[in-house]
Each structure stands twice: as C-alpha cells, then as structure tokens.
Structure 1
C-alpha cells in the first residue's frame, strides 16, 4: 500500500490517492482533478473508488467528475444524500476493493452531521485512516460552519467521534483532509499527516474527557468563516460541472461591470492600479481571498504582468466554484492612477512614532493576542468590505496599514485607496515586529 498526498496550501487541504496492487482509491478530490488522475495514470493504477468524507464547506468537489471520467465507484456518507448517483457509505458496512483491500466507513459526525471517516484494512488488519474533518493532526474539525444553532450539538458529537477514532490501533496512519491553513480546523493544525498513537499522545482535543468541556473548547474562540463557504455546501449537494479551461482572453481594458482584481506583485500594484480595482497578488491563497472579498460569481477581470501566467489564478477560483473570469489586462497605460506607499520596517516604525499617525491593523482577532500597536484601529480585512472603512480613519492623513507579513495589508491598501485614503503599508513584516521595534509590545 502507498498513499500519495496532494496539498492545496491556499485552502489548507489535502487530497489522497491510495494505491494497492494496481488499484486506486481517491479521497476528497478538489475540482481540478487532472492532477490526481494523471498521478494514477503515471502509477498504472485503475481507480476503484472515489471517496468523500463529507459535503465540503471550503471547496467545490471534483469527486463526481473523477468517478465519471474513470468509471470508479463514487462513495459518499449515506446521510449526505446528494442529488447525483453514488454509493452510500453506511457505518461499518465494508467496501471490498479486492486483493485484500477493504474500506470500512465509520460515522464520525461533528464537523458535519453526515461526516464519515474511512478505515483502510489490508488483509483484515487496520492500516490507515482517512479522517476528513474529524480527527486532525493536533486539532479537530470545527463544528460551527453550519451555523451557531447547531454548533454545540455538533461539538458534542465530535467528542464521540474523536474517541471512536482514537480507539483504533496506534500504528494506524492518520490522513486528514483539513490541515494547516484551513479555516475548517478549530486551532492551527500541525503536521499534514500523523498516526493514531501520536495523536493519542499529543492531540489536546483528545485530552478532554467530557463532551461539554470539549464543546466549550471547540467553540471558545472560533475563527472567521470565509464568505464563499456559504455557497460550497449547495454546490457539492447538487453536483458540479467539469472545471472549465484555464485559458482566458487578452483584453485591452476591463469591461464595464466587472470586478477588477490585480494579481501583480504588491510593488507593481503600489506604483499604480486601475481605479476601483482590488489588489490580491497571486499566491497560494489568492482564490480564498478573492472568494472572501468579492461578490460571489460576479464577472472578474484580472490585471497581470506582461509575462505573468494567469492559469493558477483561474484554477484557484474554479476550486471554489468561481468560473466568471472574463479576461486579463496586461497593459494599463496611463489609467493606473490608484497608488499606495510601501515601507520597510524601520521606515514604518519612524512614521508610527509621529504624534498624528493613524494606524490600521487588519489581522484576525485571535492574532492580536501576540502583540498590538497602541492606538491602532483594529479591523479584520474582510470587515473592510462588509462594514466599510472605519469612520475613525480620516482621508486627510495617511493610513499606516499592517498585518502579520504585509500580504493582507497590501490588499487592504487597495480597498483604502479606492475609498479615497492614502495607504502606507508595512511591506515585509508585521505588527509583532513593529511593536517590538517601538519597544512596547502589548498582549491582549
């Protein structure tokens, strides 16, 4: 048996391809399925099953299309009841993969009500566990994504699910779908994979014996929920069309009514963007931030460098169901009049020390426990879209913007600039470094 993992860092998720005696099992595939099917073909593997652990909240699934392309059996939790043809996975009703390979569904509600993990047995011996959003490395799947009304009930169910999985033999490999960087985890998950024994020894969620105490811990400080999550469950229930081609036409100018997203490096953006555009430089989490900050499924025009490949941007958007990229503009000409300023840490700290400095911190609330800047206006980046620019910030003076690394601050700069402010961004450092340089870090 071999397990190949495919990391999607911008979403904090992993897809797995299990291979055994020429047969393959694909687990929780994302929409861009070619990378998984190509890997199976390279290994001369016939795909036998495509498994889904739950109806995903954070991305559009490629499971149905992978099964249709390959003839594999599509398996979903019995209680998921999607609108397309599939094999329902019932608790402890084994699926025979042939040649000594058995898949045992284990109902593990908590992250979602229907959530099902899959235990892999080789010749009757437990070997690996695909735990989806149940037991994670040093963490657990969050129970509040379906709304606060059901969160505590699901959190209590998660207690039983974690215990059920922790009772498996210690040598069983643990392969969760959600990991570091995912907003589907309760806390920052650790390594990508683990074992049952290692989690018994070190997972803090398994150290809590009482269901209500675990529910308190799971719900104590929930992370924000990305805005596009609300659309994923419905898409994955009704079925998703194949991923469209990633090629987009070259445009001379952005069409009227399109959301303009500048994917160039922040230093290019700072020198000039199209008025009204938002700057989200292309990186692993480009799709997540775009889906969170822009109206879902509205037409999008990308702005890119002359030699920049836009295929990755289009792919990341398609992973969360956004198929509305209409084209790319590469020559801005004289129209790039929306600007902002980038500063090094030393220069930023000097500006902070000025008595009339106004400061905006766009980190998540949980991040503020590490350090704060005295007098800063604190707004998580997406709140600048949903709630507007804070009234405390005046356009008459520059706004010093910081986050943890400069990425979110540069995105905020575009939002501020199009609202008539003069943003000044801490480009390559964060609030913690700035507070330390001032000599007055302050914990929450």
Structure 2
C-alpha cells in the first residue's frame, strides 16, 4: 500500500491517493482533478473509489467530476445528502475494496454534522486513517464554520469524535485533509501527517477530558472565517461543474464593470497600479485573499507582468469556484498612477518616529493579542475592504502599514493608495520586529 499526498498550500489542505494492488482510492480531491488523475495514470492505477469526508467549507470539491471521469464509486457520509449520485457511507459499515483492502467509515461529527473519517484496513489490520477535518495534527477541525448557533453543540461532538479516533491502534497513520495554513483548523496544525500514537502523546486537544472545557477551548477567540467559505457548502451540495480550461485573453484595458486585480510583484505594484485596482501579488494564497477581499464571483480582470504566467492565478480562483476572469492586461501604461511606498524595517521604524506618522495594523485580532503597539489604529485586512478606512486615519499624513510579514500590509497599502492616502508598507517584517526595534532603541 502507498499513500501519496497532494498539498495545496494556499488553502492549507491535502488530497490523498491511496494505491493498493493496482487499485486507487482518492480522498477529498479539490476541483483541479487533473493532477490527481495524472498521478493515478502514471502509476497505472485504476481509480476504484473517491471518498469525501464531509461537505467542504473551504474549497470546491472535485469528487463528483473525478468519479464521472473515471467511473470510480463516489462515497460521501450518509448524512451529507448531496444532490448528485453517490454511495452513502454508514458508520462502521465496511466497504470492500477487494484483494484484502477494506474501507471502514467512522462517523466523526464536529467539524460538520455529517463528517465521516475512513479507516483503511489491509487483511483486517488497521493501517491508516483519513480523518478529514476531525482529528488533525496537533489540532482539531473547527466546529464554528456553520454558524455560532451550532458551534458549541458541534464542539462537544468533536470532543467525542477525537477521543473515538484516538482509541485506534497507535501505529495507525493519520492523514488529515486540513493542516497548517487552513482556516478550518482550531489552531496551527503543525506537521501534515502523523500517527494515532503521536497524537495521543502530543495533541493538546486530546489532553482535554471534559467536553465543556473542550468547547471553551475551541470557541475562545476563534480565527476569522474567510468570506468565500459561505459559498463552498452550497456548491459542494449541489455539485460543481467541471473546472473550465484556462483561457485568458490579452486585453488592452479592463472591461467596464470588472474588478481589477494586480498580481505583479509588490515592488512593481508600488511604482504604479491602475486606479481602484486591488494589489494581490501572485503567491500560493492568492486565490484565498482574492475570494475573501472582493465580491464573490464577480468579473475580474488581472494585471500581470509581460511573460508572467497567469495559469496559477486562474487555477487558484477556480478552486474556490470563481470562473469569472475576463482577461489580463500586460501593460497598464501611463494610467497606472496609484502608488505606495515599500520600506524595510530600519526605514519603517525611522519613519514611525516622525511626528506626523500614523500606524495601521492589519493583522487579525488573535495576532494582536500576542504583541501590539500603543497608539496603533487596528483593522483586520478583510475588514478594511468591507468597512473602509478607519476614521482615525488622516489622509493628509503618511500612513505606515504593517502586518506580520509584509504580505497583507502591501495589499492594504494598495487599497489606501486607491483612496487618496499616502501609505508606507512594511516589507519583509512585521509588528513584532517593529516592537523589538523600538524596545532596543529605548534601551540603547
């Protein structure tokens, strides 16, 4: 038996391909199924099953399309009841994979009500567990994504599910779908895979014996929920169309009515963007930030460097169901008048010491609890896009913007520049480094 993982870093998720005796089992595939089917073909594997652990909240599933393309049997939790054809997985009703391979569904509600994990047995011996959004590496799947009304009830259920899985033999491999970088985890998830034994010893969520105490831990200071998440459940319940081919026509200008997203490196963006555009540098989390910050699935025009490959940008958007890219502008030209300043740590701290400086912190609330600076204006980046610029900021004075590394600060700086402010984005460092530099300056 072999298990291959496919990491999607920007979403913090993993898809798995289990191969055994020439047969394949695909677990929690994302919408861009070509990479999984190609891997199966390269291994000369016949895809026998496609397993879904739950109705996903963070991406559009490719499960139905993978099954249709290959003739594999699509298996979903019995309580999921999607609109398309599938085999329901009932608690502890084994699925025979042939040649000694058995898939055993284990109902593990908590992340979602229908959530089901799959225990893999070879010749009757348990060897691997696909735990989806239930037991994660050093963490657990969030119970609050379906709304605050059900969060506490789901958290108590998650407590029972985690301990049910922890009772499996210690040598069973743990293969969760959600991991580090996913907003579906209750905390940083650390390593990507583990074993039941390792989690028994080191997972802090398993150390909590009382369900109410567990719920308190899960629901105290939860991480924000990306805006596009609310569209994923309905898409995965009704069934998503096949991922369209990546065709991005070259445009001389953005069509009227489309949102302009500049994916060029932030150093290029800072020198000039099209007025009103959003500067979201192409990186592994590009799709997530675009889906979070802009109105969902409305028309988008990309601005890219000459020769810059836009395929990755379009793919990331399609993974969360956004198929509305109208084209790409390669030469924004003299109209690119929206500018901001990028500054390294030393320059940023010097600018901050000037009398007219204003500091905007765009980190999320839980990050601010770790370190914050007095006198700082605080607004989480998505809230900046939704609520607008804080009233405390004076457009006549420079606005110094910081986050934890520079990624969000650059996005915020572009937003501020488009609204008449003079932003300076801290690049390559964050609030923690600023605090350290100021502390060293005062003690020198």
Distance between the aligned counterparts of 1:166 and 1:221, measured in 2? Answer: 26
- The residue correspondences of 1:3-14 to structure 2 (distance < 5 A) are 3-14=3-14
Q: Once the 2 structures are TM-superposed, how far is the Cα of residue 286 of structure 1 from its aligned partner?
A: 0.1
Distance between the aligned counterparts of 2:30 and 2:440, measured in 1? Answer: 45
1:260 maps to what in 2?
Answer: 260
- The residue correspondences of 1:42-441 to structure 2 (distance < 5 A) are 42-439=42-439
Distance between the aligned counterparts of 2:300 and 2:369, measured in 1? Answer: 36
Count of residue pairs the alignment pairs up: 442
Q: Once the 2 structures are TM-superposed, how far is the Cα of residue 281 of structure 1 from its aligned partner?
A: 0.2
Distance between the aligned counterparts of 1:400 and 1:249, measured in 2? Answer: 37
Q: Once the 2 structures are TM-superposed, how far is the Cα of residue 356 of structure 1 from its aligned partner?
A: 2.1
Q: Find runs of 4+ consecutive structure 1 residues off by over 6 angstroms.
A: none
Q: Once the 2 structures are TM-superposed, how far is the Cα of residue 344 of structure 1 from its aligned partner?
A: 1.1
Q: Once the 2 structures are TM-superposed, how far is the Cα of residue 307 of structure 1 from its aligned partner?
A: 1.1
Q: Once the 2 structures are TM-superposed, how far is the Cα of residue 349 of structure 1 from its aligned partner?
A: 0.3
DSSP-derived class of the 2:157 partner? helix
2:32 maps to what in 1?
Answer: 32
Structure 1 length-normalised TM: 0.99
Distance between the aligned counterparts of 1:439 and 1:167, measured in 2? Answer: 48
DSSP-derived class of the 2:38 partner? helix
Distance between the aligned counterparts of 2:422 and 2:97, measured in 1? Answer: 61
Q: Once the 2 structures are TM-superposed, how far is the Cα of residue 246 of structure 1 from its aligned partner?
A: 1.3
Q: Once the 2 structures are TM-superposed, how far is the Cα of residue 440 of structure 1 from its aligned partner?
A: 7.0
- Mean alpha-carbon deviation: is it higher for 358-367 or for 308-317? 358-367
DSSP-derived class of the 1:274 partner? coil
Distance between the aligned counterparts of 1:440 and 1:164, measured in 2? Answer: 50
Confirm or deny: 8 A CA contact 2:265 2:282 kept in the other structure. yes
List runs of 5+ in structure 2 lacking aligned partners: none
Q: CA RMSD in A?
A: 1.0
Distance between the aligned counterparts of 2:374 and 2:213, measured in 1? Answer: 35
DSSP-derived class of the 1:424 partner? strand
Q: How big is each residue's C-alpha offset from its partner over 1:68-101, in whole Å with a ceiling of 9 and x where there is no partner?
A: 0000000000000000000000000000000100
Distance between the aligned counterparts of 2:413 and 2:171, measured in 1? Answer: 49
Q: How big is each residue's C-alpha offset from its partner over 1:351-394, in whole Å with a ceiling of 9 and x where there is no partner?
A: 11112210000011111133222211011100001211100001
DSSP-derived class of the 1:80 partner? coil
Distance between the aligned counterparts of 2:332 and 2:85, measured in 1? Answer: 48
Confirm or deny: 8 A CA contact 2:271 2:340 kept in the other structure. yes
DSSP-derived class of the 1:110 partner? coil
- Mean alpha-carbon deviation: is it higher for 359-368 or for 303-312? 359-368
DSSP-derived class of the 2:244 partner? coil
Q: How big is each residue's C-alpha offset from its partner over 1:167-224, in whole Å with a ceiling of 9 and x where there is no partner?
A: 0000000000000000000001010000000000000000000111100000011000
DSSP-derived class of the 2:75 partner? strand
Q: Once the 2 structures are TM-superposed, how far is the Cα of residue 102 of structure 1 from its aligned partner?
A: 0.3
Distance between the aligned counterparts of 2:27 and 2:345, measured in 1? Answer: 44
Confirm or deny: 8 A CA contact 2:356 2:398 kept in the other structure. no
Confirm or deny: 8 A CA contact 2:120 2:126 kept in the other structure. yes
Q: How big is each residue's C-alpha offset from its partner over 1:105-156, in whole Å with a ceiling of 9 and x where there is no partner?
A: 0000000000000000000000000000000000000000000000000000
List runs of 5+ in structure 1 lacking aligned partners: none
Distance between the aligned counterparts of 1:48 and 1:97, measured in 2? Answer: 8
Q: Once the 2 structures are TM-superposed, how far is the Cα of residue 247 of structure 1 from its aligned partner?
A: 2.1
